[in-house]
Amino acid sequence: MRYLVTGVAGFIGSQVAERLLPRATELIGVDCFTANYPRAVKEENLRHLRPKPNFSLLEADLGVADLPAILSGVDVVVHQAGLPGVRPSWGRGFSEYVAHNVVATQRLLEAARNVGVRRFVYASSSSVYGNAASYPTSEEAVPRPFSPYGVTKLAGEHLCGTYGANYGLSTVALRYFTVYGPRQRPDMAFHRFVEAGCRGTEINVYGSGEQVRDFTHVDDVVRANVLATEADLPPGKVLNIAGGSRVDVNTVLTLLAGLVQTPLRVTRVDHQAGDVEETWATCDEARRLLGWTPTVELVDGLASQVDWHRTRLEPVLAPTTNGNHDPDLSVVPAPAVRRPANARG
């Protein structure tokens, strides 16, 4: 089997590629190394892939690359590439989101149908739902994006459906719900929270912290992608991929304080445009069609991310002291939350 994984240097793409590699005759990874976070971080994500003889890396922009040539002989495309994040998608940044999330996806689909790709897996997002009309949200709910980013991810979904309906291209879109875990992007909330918790520095929280999210560990997302490359699915299928860990941000901070065993220095900043109040999914279709259910509990998954950050920060962490906090900052105390014996490291 020959695979193409786009966004291979990213948080999810690198881990999907690692999971697929043992079953691959050849795995081609494509990434254009956008400047949304440092290239050195992305290169570190590739560390386990680069030495493998059946892996090759192609640095290319999907918006201009010769995609029919790149996809020639490829059986399965796992399309993880795209510009992520709600907040940067407003204003002048939107044109870049259209280029990377819509135009690149269309070009990839066009090449895939012309060369006879067997399966096309597309990384979508819960952002397509916006503030849903009801919860838990199923795939039958009418998408109502609340941000330009969500609009571009929905456009990619519609393109997948269009190529499926018109050309029989076997596409499946996986709607990820707030993915966290090792290698998470530096701009994402858990990364910022854990890094600050380990360092004893200030944590900025947007809004009241009462926003509810259906948090999903990256291991579960990777497993869903692998299953989606193999399952018998109708063209244009859309599936929710959510972790079932539906809690508010303040609860996450309480859990984190127990794991790092130090008070957290939290300051509240303004609510951000495009941030929805709640996400919560039903994953009955993924269970029925993929045999997939989430397996990682939030406290276990958060512990795995804390361990990853500690490993990265070990050379630079200084001894922490208590009692020197800015009086203007609210302090989330460290409760008696112990890491479970079966937490992942």
d(CA 144, CA 49): 38
Kindly tell me the number of DSSP H helices and DSSP E strands found in the chain.
11, 13
249-260 vs 189-199: helix crossing angle, rounded to 10: 30
Structure-block tokens of residue 18 = 């690692």
d(CA 43, CA 53): 18
d(CA 11, CA 9): 7
How many domains would you assign to the chain?
A: 1
d(CA 126, CA 283): 12
* Residues acting as catalytic residues: 149
Element (H, E) at 139: none
d(CA 89, CA 82): 12
Strands of the 264-269 sheet, one edge to the other? 202-206, 264-269, 330-332
Predicted pLDDT at 317: 57
d(CA 148, CA 154): 10
d(CA 300, CA 197): 17
d(CA 8, CA 299): 27
d(CA 166, CA 64): 24
- Residue 45, domain member (yes or no): yes
- Residue 162, domain member (yes or no): yes
Predicted pLDDT at 320: 44
Beta-carbon neighbour count of residue 224 at 10 Å? 25
- Residue 76, domain member (yes or no): yes
Predicted pLDDT at 207: 85
Spell out a b/e string for 38-71, using b for 16 or more CB atoms within 10 Å of the CB, else e: eeeebeebbeebeeeeebebeebebbebebeebb
- Residue 284, domain member (yes or no): no
Are 273 and 91 spatial neighbours (Cβ–Cβ below 8 Å)?
Answer: no
Q: Which of 87, 86, 27 is nearest to 55 (CA)?
A: 27
CA atoms within 13 A on the CB side of 268: 12
- Residue 250, domain member (yes or no): no
Predicted pLDDT at 152: 98
- Residue 195, domain member (yes or no): no
d(CA 116, CA 76): 10
d(CA 205, CA 210): 10
The structure's pTM equals 0.90
Predicted pLDDT at 272: 79
CATH number of the domain residue 77 falls in: 3.40.50.720
The residue type of 273 is A
Predicted pLDDT at 285: 98
CA distances from 148 to 84, 162, 278 (A): 11, 21, 18
Angle at 274 between CA 273 and CA 279, to 5 degrees: 135
Structure-block tokens of residue 222 = 């990777």
d(CA 190, CA 263): 16
Number of residues written out for the chain:
345
Predicted pLDDT at 300: 96
Written as tens digits, the pLDDT of the chain (345 aa) is 999 999 999 999 999 999 999 999 999 999 999 999 999 999 999 999 999 999 999 999 999 999 999 999 999 999 999 999 998 999 999 999 999 999 999 999 999 999 999 999 999 999 999 999 999 999 999 999 999 999 999 999 999 999 999 999 999 999 999 999 999 999 999 999 999 999 889 998 988 889 999 999 999 999 999 999 999 999 999 999 999 988 999 999 999 999 988 788 888 888 778 888 899 999 999 999 999 999 999 999 999 999 999 998 876 554 444 433 333 333 344 333 333 333 332
- Residue 259, domain member (yes or no): no
- Residue 101, domain member (yes or no): yes
Element (H, E) at 59: strand 55-59
The residue type of 218 is V
Please give the residue range of the domain that contains residue 233. 2-176+218-241
Structure-block tokens of residue 315 = 């050379």
What ranges in 116-205 are assigned the alpha helix state H? Answer: 148-167, 189-199
Predicted pLDDT at 263: 83
